[in-house]
């Protein structure tokens, strides 16, 4: 089955840029989505279709994708950005959603 791999943790100083990666075989051929989840809260979609931002999500959040890696980039990181982040895609061959294991962002 398809697997998405994320680093367990990323640390960044306030005001700097954080990059969270998501690796998967031929991920460049799929649409990747990113979610932010703060403790005790439901996940929130922050990036969809690799690089689009839902309304209300700050421009500091951006997404990109290469052949085998998708990346969520958060610029000018704030303390309030501290959360778990998950990548996700829909595997069209099985018609199932796949989540990465999640990355804890520490500011």
Partner 1 sequence: QVHLVESGGGVVQPGTSLRLSCAASGFTFGTSTMDWVRQAPGKGLEWVALIFFDGSNKNYADSVKGRFSVFRDNSKNILYLLMNSLRPEDTAVYYCARGRGGGSLDSWGQGTLVTVSS
Query: Residues interacting with partner 1, by CB under 8 A?
Result: 1, 31, 33, 35, 37, 42-45, 48-49, 54, 84, 86, 88-90, 94-102
Q: Output the smallest distance, CB 20 to partner 1, in A.
A: 14
Strand, coil or helix: what is 34? strand
Q: Output the smallest distance, CB 35 to partner 1, in A.
A: 7
Q: How many CB atoms lie within 10 A of CB 24?
A: 22
Residue 51 vs 69, nearer CB to partner 1: 51
- DSSP character at residue 60: T
Report the C-alpha gap between 6 and 58 in whole angstroms: 23
């Amino acid at each position: 089955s398809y697997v998405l791999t994320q680093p367990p943790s990323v640390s960044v100083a306030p005001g700097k840029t954080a990059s969270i990666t998501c690796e998967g075989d031929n991920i460049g051929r799929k649409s990747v989505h990113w979610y932010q989840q703060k403790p005790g809260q439901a996940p929130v979609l922050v990036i969809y279709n690799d690089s689009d931002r839902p309304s209300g999500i700050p421009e500091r959040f951006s997404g990109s994708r290469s052949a085998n890696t998708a990346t969520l980039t958060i610029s000018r990181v704030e303390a309030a950005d501290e959360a778990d982040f998950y990548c996700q895609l829909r595997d069209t061959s099985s018609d199932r959603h796949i989540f990465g294991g999640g990355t804890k962002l520490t500011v």
